[in-house]
Structure 1
Amino acid sequence: MNRLILRATACAALMSAALLAAPQVRAEDAANPDYAAIVAAPDRSDADRQVDQRRQPAEMLTFAGVKPGMTILDMAASAGYSTELLARTVAPSGKVYAQDSATVLERFVKDKFDTRAKAPAMKNVVHVVRDYDDPIPPEVKDLDMITFFFFYHDITYLPVDRAAMNKKMFAALKPGGLLVIADHSAKTGAGTGVAKTLHRIEESTLKQEIEAAGFKLVAEGDFLHHAEDPKDIPVFKAPVPIDEFVLKYQKPQ
Protein backbone atom coordinates (compact mmCIF):
# COMPACT_ATOMS: atom_id res chain seq x y z
CA MET A 1 0.00 0.00 0.00
CA ASN A 2 2.80 2.40 0.96
CA ARG A 3 4.52 1.58 -2.33
CA LEU A 4 1.38 2.56 -4.28
CA ILE A 5 1.10 5.83 -2.39
CA LEU A 6 4.74 6.65 -3.09
CA ARG A 7 4.30 5.86 -6.78
CA ALA A 8 1.19 8.10 -7.04
CA THR A 9 3.03 10.92 -5.26
CA ALA A 10 5.96 10.62 -7.65
CA CYS A 11 3.65 10.74 -10.68
CA ALA A 12 1.89 13.84 -9.35
CA ALA A 13 5.25 15.53 -8.80
CA LEU A 14 6.35 14.74 -12.36
CA MET A 15 3.09 16.14 -13.78
CA SER A 16 3.43 19.33 -11.77
CA ALA A 17 6.99 19.79 -12.98
CA ALA A 18 5.91 19.28 -16.59
CA LEU A 19 3.14 21.86 -16.25
CA LEU A 20 5.52 24.38 -14.73
CA ALA A 21 8.01 23.81 -17.53
CA ALA A 22 5.37 24.24 -20.30
CA PRO A 23 5.10 27.70 -21.87
CA GLN A 24 2.28 29.65 -20.28
CA VAL A 25 -0.38 31.30 -22.49
CA ARG A 26 -0.94 34.86 -21.35
CA ALA A 27 -4.57 35.93 -20.95
CA GLU A 28 -4.03 38.97 -23.17
CA ASP A 29 -2.63 36.78 -25.96
CA ALA A 30 -5.59 34.43 -25.78
CA ALA A 31 -7.96 37.40 -26.01
CA ASN A 32 -6.30 38.89 -29.11
CA PRO A 33 -7.44 37.06 -32.24
CA ASP A 34 -5.28 36.48 -35.28
CA TYR A 35 -7.11 39.00 -37.47
CA ALA A 36 -5.09 38.16 -40.57
CA ALA A 37 -6.05 34.51 -40.23
CA ILE A 38 -9.72 35.44 -39.84
CA VAL A 39 -9.59 37.48 -43.04
CA ALA A 40 -7.73 34.66 -44.81
CA ALA A 41 -10.30 31.99 -43.86
CA PRO A 42 -10.69 29.69 -46.89
CA ASP A 43 -14.50 29.71 -46.77
CA ARG A 44 -14.81 33.46 -47.35
CA SER A 45 -16.17 34.40 -50.79
CA ASP A 46 -14.12 35.71 -53.70
CA ALA A 47 -16.38 38.76 -53.81
CA ASP A 48 -15.51 39.61 -50.21
CA ARG A 49 -11.81 39.17 -50.94
CA GLN A 50 -12.14 41.76 -53.71
CA VAL A 51 -13.68 44.19 -51.22
CA ASP A 52 -10.83 43.47 -48.80
CA GLN A 53 -8.41 45.24 -51.13
CA ARG A 54 -9.94 48.62 -50.40
CA ARG A 55 -11.43 48.01 -46.94
CA GLN A 56 -8.31 46.59 -45.22
CA PRO A 57 -10.37 44.43 -42.83
CA ALA A 58 -7.49 43.09 -40.72
CA GLU A 59 -6.42 46.65 -39.93
CA MET A 60 -10.03 47.62 -39.20
CA LEU A 61 -10.59 44.70 -36.82
CA THR A 62 -7.29 45.46 -35.09
CA PHE A 63 -8.13 49.15 -34.74
CA ALA A 64 -11.60 48.39 -33.39
CA GLY A 65 -10.27 45.78 -30.98
CA VAL A 66 -12.93 43.18 -31.75
CA LYS A 67 -12.56 40.15 -29.48
CA PRO A 68 -14.18 36.75 -28.97
CA GLY A 69 -17.26 36.84 -26.76
CA MET A 70 -18.23 40.42 -27.59
CA THR A 71 -21.78 41.48 -28.37
CA ILE A 72 -21.78 43.94 -31.27
CA LEU A 73 -24.35 45.94 -33.24
CA ASP A 74 -23.39 46.44 -36.88
CA MET A 75 -25.34 49.49 -38.06
CA ALA A 76 -26.38 49.62 -41.72
CA ALA A 77 -25.17 46.07 -42.30
CA SER A 78 -26.35 46.07 -45.94
CA ALA A 79 -25.23 42.82 -47.62
CA GLY A 80 -23.29 41.80 -44.50
CA TYR A 81 -19.65 42.08 -45.55
CA SER A 82 -18.55 43.58 -42.21
CA THR A 83 -21.16 41.63 -40.26
CA GLU A 84 -19.61 38.34 -41.30
CA LEU A 85 -16.09 39.45 -40.35
CA LEU A 86 -17.34 40.59 -36.96
CA ALA A 87 -19.22 37.31 -36.47
CA ARG A 88 -16.11 35.28 -37.27
CA THR A 89 -14.09 37.31 -34.78
CA VAL A 90 -16.50 37.21 -31.82
CA ALA A 91 -17.20 33.48 -32.29
CA PRO A 92 -17.92 31.09 -30.73
CA SER A 93 -19.61 32.74 -27.75
CA GLY A 94 -20.17 36.29 -29.05
CA LYS A 95 -23.11 37.71 -30.97
CA VAL A 96 -23.61 40.26 -33.73
CA TYR A 97 -26.83 42.19 -34.35
CA ALA A 98 -26.96 43.24 -38.01
CA GLN A 99 -29.22 46.29 -38.43
CA ASP A 100 -30.81 47.71 -41.55
CA SER A 101 -34.04 49.45 -42.48
CA ALA A 102 -36.73 47.62 -44.42
CA THR A 103 -36.66 50.30 -47.12
CA VAL A 104 -32.93 49.99 -47.81
CA LEU A 105 -33.09 46.21 -47.75
CA GLU A 106 -35.89 46.18 -50.30
CA ARG A 107 -34.47 48.81 -52.64
CA PHE A 108 -30.76 48.07 -52.60
CA VAL A 109 -29.86 44.83 -50.85
CA LYS A 110 -32.69 42.52 -51.92
CA ASP A 111 -31.83 38.97 -50.81
CA LYS A 112 -28.06 39.46 -50.51
CA PHE A 113 -28.03 39.44 -46.72
CA ASP A 114 -30.37 36.43 -46.51
CA THR A 115 -28.10 34.52 -48.86
CA ARG A 116 -25.03 35.32 -46.75
CA ALA A 117 -26.91 34.45 -43.55
CA LYS A 118 -27.03 30.78 -44.63
CA ALA A 119 -23.26 30.44 -44.22
CA PRO A 120 -22.00 28.67 -41.07
CA ALA A 121 -19.93 31.74 -40.17
CA MET A 122 -23.17 33.69 -39.67
CA LYS A 123 -24.74 31.38 -37.09
CA ASN A 124 -24.16 33.89 -34.26
CA VAL A 125 -25.80 36.79 -36.18
CA VAL A 126 -29.26 38.22 -35.50
CA HIS A 127 -30.75 40.29 -38.33
CA VAL A 128 -32.45 43.40 -36.98
CA VAL A 129 -34.77 45.17 -39.43
CA ARG A 130 -35.54 48.53 -37.82
CA ASP A 131 -35.45 52.21 -38.76
CA TYR A 132 -32.11 53.95 -38.35
CA ASP A 133 -33.37 56.39 -35.74
CA ASP A 134 -34.76 53.50 -33.67
CA PRO A 135 -32.22 50.81 -34.53
CA ILE A 136 -31.97 48.74 -31.38
CA PRO A 137 -34.53 46.25 -30.01
CA PRO A 138 -35.54 47.20 -26.45
CA GLU A 139 -34.20 43.94 -25.02
CA VAL A 140 -30.69 44.60 -26.41
CA LYS A 141 -28.60 46.34 -23.76
CA ASP A 142 -25.00 46.69 -22.60
CA LEU A 143 -23.43 46.20 -26.00
CA ASP A 144 -19.64 45.95 -26.10
CA MET A 145 -19.36 47.71 -29.45
CA ILE A 146 -21.29 49.35 -32.28
CA THR A 147 -19.83 49.56 -35.77
CA PHE A 148 -21.07 51.98 -38.43
CA PHE A 149 -19.14 51.60 -41.66
CA PHE A 150 -19.43 53.90 -44.71
CA PHE A 151 -23.13 54.69 -44.40
CA TYR A 152 -23.48 57.61 -42.00
CA HIS A 153 -23.30 59.99 -44.97
CA ASP A 154 -26.35 58.25 -46.49
CA ILE A 155 -28.29 58.72 -43.27
CA THR A 156 -27.94 62.49 -43.67
CA TYR A 157 -30.20 62.67 -46.74
CA LEU A 158 -32.70 60.05 -45.57
CA PRO A 159 -35.68 60.96 -43.32
CA VAL A 160 -33.76 60.02 -40.17
CA ASP A 161 -33.52 61.84 -36.84
CA ARG A 162 -29.74 61.52 -36.48
CA ALA A 163 -29.63 63.05 -33.01
CA ALA A 164 -32.15 60.46 -31.78
CA MET A 165 -30.21 57.67 -33.52
CA ASN A 166 -26.93 58.69 -31.94
CA LYS A 167 -28.48 58.95 -28.46
CA LYS A 168 -30.00 55.48 -28.79
CA MET A 169 -26.66 54.03 -29.84
CA PHE A 170 -25.07 55.70 -26.82
CA ALA A 171 -27.73 54.29 -24.48
CA ALA A 172 -27.38 50.75 -25.85
CA LEU A 173 -23.65 50.53 -25.08
CA LYS A 174 -22.33 49.43 -21.72
CA PRO A 175 -20.19 51.99 -19.86
CA GLY A 176 -16.81 51.90 -21.60
CA GLY A 177 -18.40 50.43 -24.75
CA LEU A 178 -17.10 51.51 -28.14
CA LEU A 179 -18.49 53.03 -31.33
CA VAL A 180 -16.25 52.52 -34.36
CA ILE A 181 -17.32 54.61 -37.33
CA ALA A 182 -15.78 55.09 -40.77
CA ASP A 183 -16.83 57.09 -43.82
CA HIS A 184 -15.70 58.72 -47.06
CA SER A 185 -14.05 62.11 -46.63
CA ALA A 186 -15.46 65.33 -48.07
CA LYS A 187 -13.66 68.64 -48.45
CA THR A 188 -13.41 71.05 -45.57
CA GLY A 189 -16.60 73.10 -45.42
CA ALA A 190 -18.70 70.58 -47.33
CA GLY A 191 -20.56 69.37 -44.25
CA THR A 192 -23.34 67.02 -45.35
CA GLY A 193 -24.01 68.95 -48.56
CA VAL A 194 -22.34 66.40 -50.86
CA ALA A 195 -23.60 63.27 -49.13
CA LYS A 196 -26.10 62.36 -51.84
CA THR A 197 -24.09 63.51 -54.87
CA LEU A 198 -20.55 62.45 -53.92
CA HIS A 199 -21.37 59.99 -51.11
CA ARG A 200 -19.02 61.81 -48.76
CA ILE A 201 -19.26 63.67 -45.46
CA GLU A 202 -16.95 66.17 -43.82
CA GLU A 203 -15.16 64.49 -40.93
CA SER A 204 -15.63 67.41 -38.54
CA THR A 205 -19.39 67.43 -39.16
CA LEU A 206 -19.71 63.75 -38.31
CA LYS A 207 -17.59 64.24 -35.20
CA GLN A 208 -19.80 67.08 -33.99
CA GLU A 209 -22.95 65.01 -34.36
CA ILE A 210 -21.53 61.92 -32.65
CA GLU A 211 -19.98 63.86 -29.79
CA ALA A 212 -23.25 65.73 -29.16
CA ALA A 213 -24.69 62.38 -28.02
CA GLY A 214 -22.03 62.04 -25.30
CA PHE A 215 -19.39 59.93 -27.07
CA LYS A 216 -15.71 60.66 -26.39
CA LEU A 217 -13.14 60.28 -29.17
CA VAL A 218 -10.38 57.88 -28.11
CA ALA A 219 -8.55 56.99 -31.35
CA GLU A 220 -8.28 57.86 -35.03
CA GLY A 221 -7.09 55.43 -37.69
CA ASP A 222 -5.02 56.54 -40.68
CA PHE A 223 -4.88 53.21 -42.54
CA LEU A 224 -7.56 54.28 -45.05
CA HIS A 225 -6.25 57.80 -45.67
CA HIS A 226 -5.35 58.59 -49.29
CA ALA A 227 -3.89 62.05 -49.85
CA GLU A 228 -4.18 61.63 -53.63
CA ASP A 229 -7.99 61.77 -53.42
CA PRO A 230 -9.16 65.30 -54.41
CA LYS A 231 -12.44 64.69 -52.51
CA ASP A 232 -14.53 66.27 -55.26
CA ILE A 233 -15.32 63.09 -57.20
CA PRO A 234 -18.22 60.70 -56.52
CA VAL A 235 -16.97 57.76 -54.50
CA PHE A 236 -18.12 55.17 -57.03
CA LYS A 237 -16.44 56.93 -59.96
CA ALA A 238 -13.13 58.00 -58.45
CA PRO A 239 -10.04 56.98 -60.46
CA VAL A 240 -7.91 57.01 -57.31
CA PRO A 241 -8.36 55.38 -53.88
CA ILE A 242 -10.91 57.21 -51.73
CA ASP A 243 -9.74 59.08 -48.65
CA GLU A 244 -11.60 57.64 -45.68
CA PHE A 245 -11.50 58.40 -41.97
CA VAL A 246 -11.88 55.88 -39.15
CA LEU A 247 -12.82 56.97 -35.64
CA LYS A 248 -13.15 55.13 -32.34
CA TYR A 249 -15.45 56.59 -29.72
CA GLN A 250 -16.19 55.45 -26.18
CA LYS A 251 -19.13 55.77 -23.85
CA PRO A 252 -17.60 57.15 -20.64
CA GLN A 253 -17.37 54.76 -17.69
Structure 2
Amino acid sequence: MKKLIAAAVVAFLGTTGVASAMTLQEALSNDLRQPVSHERDKYRHPAETLAFFGVKDSMTVIELWPGSGWYAEILAPYLARNGQYVAANFETSPKEDTKGNQYRAKLGKAFEDWLSVNAAKVGKATIVTFDPPAKTKLGETGTADVVLTFRNIHNWAWNNQAEAMFSAAFDVLKPGGVLGVVEHRANPGMDMKLGYMEEGAVIKLAEAAGFKLEKKSEINANPKDTKDYAEGVWTLPPSLRLGDTDKDKYLAIGESDRMTLKFVKPATKQ
Protein backbone atom coordinates (compact mmCIF):
# COMPACT_ATOMS: atom_id res chain seq x y z
CA MET A 1 0.00 0.00 0.00
CA LYS A 2 2.80 2.44 0.91
CA LYS A 3 4.42 1.81 -2.47
CA LEU A 4 1.15 2.56 -4.25
CA ILE A 5 0.73 5.81 -2.33
CA ALA A 6 4.33 6.81 -3.08
CA ALA A 7 3.83 6.10 -6.78
CA ALA A 8 0.68 8.21 -6.80
CA VAL A 9 2.52 11.11 -5.17
CA VAL A 10 5.33 10.92 -7.73
CA ALA A 11 2.81 10.85 -10.56
CA PHE A 12 1.11 13.94 -9.12
CA LEU A 13 4.24 15.93 -8.40
CA GLY A 14 6.43 14.66 -11.22
CA THR A 15 10.20 14.90 -11.16
CA THR A 16 10.24 18.65 -10.53
CA GLY A 17 8.44 18.46 -7.20
CA VAL A 18 5.62 20.77 -8.28
CA ALA A 19 1.99 19.92 -8.87
CA SER A 20 0.61 18.83 -12.22
CA ALA A 21 0.23 21.40 -14.98
CA MET A 22 -2.68 23.82 -14.61
CA THR A 23 -5.07 25.21 -17.14
CA LEU A 24 -5.28 28.98 -17.16
CA GLN A 25 -8.69 28.81 -15.49
CA GLU A 26 -7.24 26.62 -12.74
CA ALA A 27 -4.40 29.11 -12.27
CA LEU A 28 -6.97 31.85 -11.68
CA SER A 29 -8.37 29.91 -8.73
CA ASN A 30 -5.12 28.49 -7.34
CA ASP A 31 -4.60 28.83 -3.60
CA LEU A 32 -1.72 31.32 -3.87
CA ARG A 33 -4.18 34.01 -4.92
CA GLN A 34 -5.38 36.25 -2.11
CA PRO A 35 -9.09 37.14 -1.76
CA VAL A 36 -8.27 40.78 -2.53
CA SER A 37 -6.64 39.66 -5.78
CA HIS A 38 -9.82 37.95 -6.93
CA GLU A 39 -11.71 41.19 -6.29
CA ARG A 40 -9.61 42.90 -8.99
CA ASP A 41 -10.43 40.32 -11.70
CA LYS A 42 -13.54 42.24 -12.80
CA TYR A 43 -11.30 45.19 -13.66
CA ARG A 44 -8.16 43.44 -14.91
CA HIS A 45 -9.62 40.51 -16.86
CA PRO A 46 -6.57 38.26 -16.40
CA ALA A 47 -7.85 35.24 -18.33
CA GLU A 48 -8.79 37.28 -21.38
CA THR A 49 -5.64 39.41 -21.16
CA LEU A 50 -3.21 36.49 -20.96
CA ALA A 51 -5.06 34.67 -23.71
CA PHE A 52 -4.84 37.78 -25.90
CA PHE A 53 -1.08 37.86 -25.39
CA GLY A 54 -0.89 34.14 -26.25
CA VAL A 55 0.64 33.03 -22.95
CA LYS A 56 0.95 29.22 -22.74
CA ASP A 57 2.00 27.09 -19.77
CA SER A 58 5.12 25.83 -21.62
CA MET A 59 6.59 29.29 -22.23
CA THR A 60 9.34 31.33 -20.63
CA VAL A 61 7.55 34.47 -19.47
CA ILE A 62 9.21 37.55 -17.98
CA GLU A 63 7.08 39.97 -15.98
CA LEU A 64 8.56 43.45 -15.59
CA TRP A 65 8.25 44.97 -12.10
CA PRO A 66 5.66 42.59 -10.66
CA GLY A 67 5.22 44.86 -7.62
CA SER A 68 3.13 43.15 -4.96
CA GLY A 69 2.68 40.13 -7.24
CA TRP A 70 -0.89 40.38 -8.48
CA TYR A 71 -0.14 38.70 -11.82
CA ALA A 72 2.64 36.57 -10.32
CA GLU A 73 0.05 34.77 -8.21
CA ILE A 74 -1.41 33.54 -11.50
CA LEU A 75 1.63 33.22 -13.74
CA ALA A 76 4.13 31.55 -11.40
CA PRO A 77 1.98 28.48 -10.60
CA TYR A 78 0.62 28.36 -14.16
CA LEU A 79 4.15 28.10 -15.60
CA ALA A 80 5.56 25.96 -12.78
CA ARG A 81 5.28 22.56 -14.43
CA ASN A 82 6.23 23.10 -18.07
CA GLY A 83 7.42 26.67 -18.37
CA GLN A 84 9.47 29.32 -16.60
CA TYR A 85 8.32 32.43 -14.75
CA VAL A 86 10.91 35.20 -14.44
CA ALA A 87 10.25 38.30 -12.36
CA ALA A 88 12.21 41.38 -13.40
CA ASN A 89 12.11 42.73 -9.88
CA PHE A 90 12.97 46.03 -8.21
CA GLU A 91 16.47 46.79 -6.98
CA THR A 92 16.39 45.69 -3.33
CA SER A 93 19.70 47.37 -2.37
CA PRO A 94 19.51 50.79 -4.03
CA LYS A 95 22.56 53.06 -3.93
CA GLU A 96 20.44 56.20 -3.49
CA ASP A 97 18.33 56.31 -0.33
CA THR A 98 15.29 58.12 -1.76
CA LYS A 99 11.66 57.64 -0.75
CA GLY A 100 10.86 56.02 -4.09
CA ASN A 101 13.82 53.67 -3.88
CA GLN A 102 12.89 52.70 -0.33
CA TYR A 103 9.34 51.91 -1.40
CA ARG A 104 10.45 49.79 -4.35
CA ALA A 105 13.12 48.00 -2.31
CA LYS A 106 10.53 47.07 0.31
CA LEU A 107 8.19 45.68 -2.33
CA GLY A 108 11.07 43.87 -4.02
CA LYS A 109 12.16 42.17 -0.82
CA ALA A 110 8.59 41.15 -0.02
CA PHE A 111 8.28 39.63 -3.49
CA GLU A 112 11.54 37.69 -3.05
CA ASP A 113 10.21 36.33 0.25
CA TRP A 114 6.94 35.34 -1.40
CA LEU A 115 8.73 33.33 -4.09
CA SER A 116 10.92 31.64 -1.49
CA VAL A 117 8.02 30.69 0.79
CA ASN A 118 6.03 29.29 -2.14
CA ALA A 119 8.93 27.56 -3.92
CA ALA A 120 7.11 24.23 -4.04
CA LYS A 121 4.26 25.79 -6.02
CA VAL A 122 6.16 28.05 -8.41
CA GLY A 123 8.66 25.57 -9.84
CA LYS A 124 11.73 27.16 -11.40
CA ALA A 125 10.46 30.71 -10.93
CA THR A 126 13.36 33.08 -10.64
CA ILE A 127 14.26 36.76 -10.31
CA VAL A 128 16.43 39.17 -12.29
CA THR A 129 16.96 42.76 -11.12
CA PHE A 130 15.66 45.35 -13.58
CA ASP A 131 16.74 48.90 -12.71
CA PRO A 132 17.34 51.11 -15.75
CA PRO A 133 19.80 52.44 -16.69
CA ALA A 134 22.16 50.50 -14.40
CA LYS A 135 20.60 47.05 -14.78
CA THR A 136 18.70 46.35 -17.97
CA LYS A 137 19.67 42.81 -18.91
CA LEU A 138 16.62 40.57 -18.61
CA GLY A 139 18.37 37.36 -19.62
CA GLU A 140 20.32 35.81 -22.44
CA THR A 141 19.51 37.27 -25.84
CA GLY A 142 16.65 35.51 -27.63
CA THR A 143 15.57 33.20 -24.80
CA ALA A 144 12.12 34.42 -23.70
CA ASP A 145 8.79 33.75 -25.36
CA VAL A 146 6.83 36.58 -23.75
CA VAL A 147 7.62 39.76 -21.82
CA LEU A 148 4.74 41.37 -19.93
CA THR A 149 4.31 44.76 -18.30
CA PHE A 150 1.23 45.87 -16.41
CA ARG A 151 0.73 49.57 -15.60
CA ASN A 152 4.45 50.40 -15.41
CA ILE A 153 5.39 52.34 -18.50
CA HIS A 154 4.45 55.75 -17.08
CA ASN A 155 6.99 55.17 -14.28
CA TRP A 156 9.77 54.52 -16.77
CA ALA A 157 8.71 57.40 -18.99
CA TRP A 158 8.92 59.87 -16.07
CA ASN A 159 12.48 58.81 -15.39
CA ASN A 160 13.66 58.56 -19.01
CA GLN A 161 13.91 54.77 -18.67
CA ALA A 162 11.29 53.70 -21.20
CA GLU A 163 13.68 53.36 -24.13
CA ALA A 164 15.92 51.07 -22.05
CA MET A 165 12.94 48.96 -21.04
CA PHE A 166 11.73 48.40 -24.60
CA SER A 167 15.27 47.70 -25.78
CA ALA A 168 15.83 45.14 -23.01
CA ALA A 169 12.56 43.41 -23.82
CA PHE A 170 13.41 43.27 -27.52
CA ASP A 171 16.84 41.79 -26.80
CA VAL A 172 15.65 38.98 -24.51
CA LEU A 173 12.77 37.84 -26.70
CA LYS A 174 13.07 35.12 -29.30
CA PRO A 175 12.27 36.10 -32.89
CA GLY A 176 8.50 36.02 -33.03
CA GLY A 177 8.29 36.60 -29.27
CA VAL A 178 5.61 38.81 -27.75
CA LEU A 179 5.72 41.97 -25.67
CA GLY A 180 2.37 42.40 -23.91
CA VAL A 181 1.53 45.86 -22.59
CA VAL A 182 -1.29 46.99 -20.32
CA GLU A 183 -1.10 50.69 -19.40
CA HIS A 184 -3.31 53.51 -18.14
CA ARG A 185 -4.54 55.28 -21.29
CA ALA A 186 -4.34 59.06 -21.51
CA ASN A 187 -6.50 61.42 -23.48
CA PRO A 188 -4.49 63.46 -26.02
CA GLY A 189 -2.47 66.21 -24.37
CA MET A 190 -2.77 64.93 -20.79
CA ASP A 191 0.02 65.57 -18.30
CA MET A 192 1.95 62.31 -17.93
CA LYS A 193 2.38 63.01 -14.21
CA LEU A 194 -1.28 62.03 -13.76
CA GLY A 195 -0.17 58.45 -14.39
CA TYR A 196 -1.65 57.96 -17.84
CA MET A 197 0.21 57.44 -21.13
CA GLU A 198 -0.94 58.28 -24.64
CA GLU A 199 -1.37 55.12 -26.66
CA GLY A 200 0.44 56.58 -29.65
CA ALA A 201 3.47 57.41 -27.50
CA VAL A 202 3.67 53.82 -26.21
CA ILE A 203 3.44 52.42 -29.73
CA LYS A 204 6.14 54.81 -30.91
CA LEU A 205 8.49 53.70 -28.12
CA ALA A 206 7.96 50.04 -28.95
CA GLU A 207 8.42 50.51 -32.66
CA ALA A 208 11.61 52.51 -32.10
CA ALA A 209 13.02 49.45 -30.30
CA GLY A 210 12.18 47.23 -33.29
CA PHE A 211 8.78 45.83 -32.32
CA LYS A 212 5.78 45.58 -34.61
CA LEU A 213 2.29 46.21 -33.26
CA GLU A 214 0.33 43.05 -33.99
CA LYS A 215 -3.01 44.02 -32.51
CA LYS A 216 -4.89 45.99 -29.88
CA SER A 217 -7.67 44.96 -27.54
CA GLU A 218 -10.29 46.83 -25.53
CA ILE A 219 -10.39 44.08 -22.87
CA ASN A 220 -9.25 46.53 -20.20
CA ALA A 221 -11.05 49.65 -21.44
CA ASN A 222 -13.18 51.63 -18.99
CA PRO A 223 -15.31 54.42 -20.51
CA LYS A 224 -16.35 55.54 -17.00
CA ASP A 225 -12.82 56.80 -16.35
CA THR A 226 -12.97 60.57 -16.94
CA LYS A 227 -9.22 60.98 -16.21
CA ASP A 228 -9.68 64.44 -14.70
CA TYR A 229 -8.78 63.82 -11.06
CA ALA A 230 -6.52 66.02 -8.95
CA GLU A 231 -4.64 62.97 -7.68
CA GLY A 232 -4.43 61.41 -11.13
CA VAL A 233 -5.00 57.74 -11.74
CA TRP A 234 -4.30 57.01 -8.06
CA THR A 235 -7.65 58.61 -7.21
CA LEU A 236 -9.29 55.43 -8.52
CA PRO A 237 -9.14 51.97 -6.95
CA PRO A 238 -7.13 50.18 -5.84
CA SER A 239 -5.13 53.20 -4.57
CA LEU A 240 -8.08 55.46 -3.59
CA ARG A 241 -5.62 58.17 -2.63
CA LEU A 242 -8.37 60.49 -1.39
CA GLY A 243 -9.39 57.98 1.25
CA ASP A 244 -13.07 58.23 2.17
CA THR A 245 -13.60 61.45 0.19
CA ASP A 246 -16.01 60.55 -2.64
CA LYS A 247 -14.95 56.93 -2.18
CA ASP A 248 -18.24 55.48 -3.44
CA LYS A 249 -17.98 57.64 -6.56
CA TYR A 250 -14.55 56.30 -7.43
CA LEU A 251 -15.47 52.72 -6.60
CA ALA A 252 -18.40 53.07 -9.01
CA ILE A 253 -15.99 54.20 -11.75
CA GLY A 254 -13.66 51.27 -11.05
CA GLU A 255 -10.04 50.96 -12.14
CA SER A 256 -8.54 53.05 -14.92
CA ASP A 257 -9.17 52.94 -18.65
CA ARG A 258 -6.31 50.88 -20.07
CA MET A 259 -4.77 50.12 -23.43
CA THR A 260 -3.90 46.49 -24.13
CA LEU A 261 -1.28 46.14 -26.86
CA LYS A 262 0.40 43.07 -28.33
CA PHE A 263 3.79 43.67 -29.95
CA VAL A 264 5.90 41.10 -31.76
CA LYS A 265 9.65 40.90 -32.33
CA PRO A 266 9.97 40.26 -36.07
CA ALA A 267 11.30 36.86 -37.08
CA THR A 268 14.88 36.80 -38.32
CA LYS A 269 15.11 36.84 -42.09
CA GLN A 270 16.10 33.50 -43.61
- TM-score over 0.5 for the alignment? yes
For residue 42 of structure 1, report the CA deviation from its aligned partner.
3.6
CA distance in 2, matches of 1:215, 1:222: 20
Residue of structure 2 in register with 1:199 after alignment: 195
For residue 129 of structure 1, report the CA deviation from its aligned partner.
1.6
What are the superposed Cα offsets for residues 8-57 of structure 1, whole Å, 9 maximum, x if unpaired? xxxxxxxxxxxxxxxxxxxxxxxx97322220224422232223232111
Residue of structure 1 in register with 2:257 after alignment: 243
Note if 1:96 corresponds to 2:80. Answer: no
Residue of structure 1 in register with 2:216 after alignment: 220
Contact persistence 2:67–2:108 (CA under 8 A): no
Residue of structure 2 in register with 1:52 after alignment: 41
CA distance in 2, matches of 1:130, 1:124: 19
| Same amino acid, percent of matched pairs | 27
Q: How large is the Cα RMSD of the aligned pairs?
A: 2.2
Alignment length, in residue pairs? 217
* SS in structure 1 at match of 2:174: strand
**Residue pairs, 1:1-253, within 5 angstroms:** 34-102=23-91, 103=94, 106-108=102-104, 109=107, 111-117=109-115, 118-119=117-118, 120-133=120-133, 134-137=135-138, 139=140, 141-160=142-161, 162-190=162-190, 193-194=191-192, 196=193, 198-233=194-229, 234-238=232-236, 239=250, 240-241=253-254, 242-253=256-267
Structure 1 runs (4+) greater than 3 angstroms displaced: 103-106, 137-141
CA distance in 1, matches of 2:156, 2:138: 19
For residue 149 of structure 1, report the CA deviation from its aligned partner.
0.8
Contact persistence 1:187–1:232 (CA under 8 A): no
CA distance in 2, matches of 1:245, 1:122: 29
CA distance in 1, matches of 2:226, 2:159: 26
Unaligned regions of 5+ residues in structure 2, if any?
A: 1-20, 95-99, 237-249
**Residue type of the partner of 1:54?**
Y
CA distance in 1, matches of 2:110, 2:234: 20
What are the superposed Cα offsets for residues 127-179 of structure 1, whole Å, 9 maximum, x if unpaired? 1123134432453642101001101011111252x223312211211110000
* SS in structure 2 at match of 1:72: strand
* SS in structure 2 at match of 1:156: helix
Contact persistence 1:178–1:250 (CA under 8 A): yes
Higher mean Cα deviation, 64-73 or 118-127?
118-127
* SS in structure 2 at match of 1:246: strand
CA distance in 1, matches of 2:101, 2:26: 30
What are the superposed Cα offsets for residues 99-128 of structure 1, whole Å, 9 maximum, x if unpaired? 123156742415431332122333321111
CA distance in 1, matches of 2:182, 2:203: 11
Unaligned regions of 5+ residues in structure 1, if any?
A: 1-31
Which protein has greater RCO, CA pairs closer than 8 Å, 6+ apart? 2
CA distance in 1, matches of 2:61, 2:175: 14
* SS in structure 2 at match of 1:124: coil
Residue of structure 1 in register with 2:10 after alignment: none
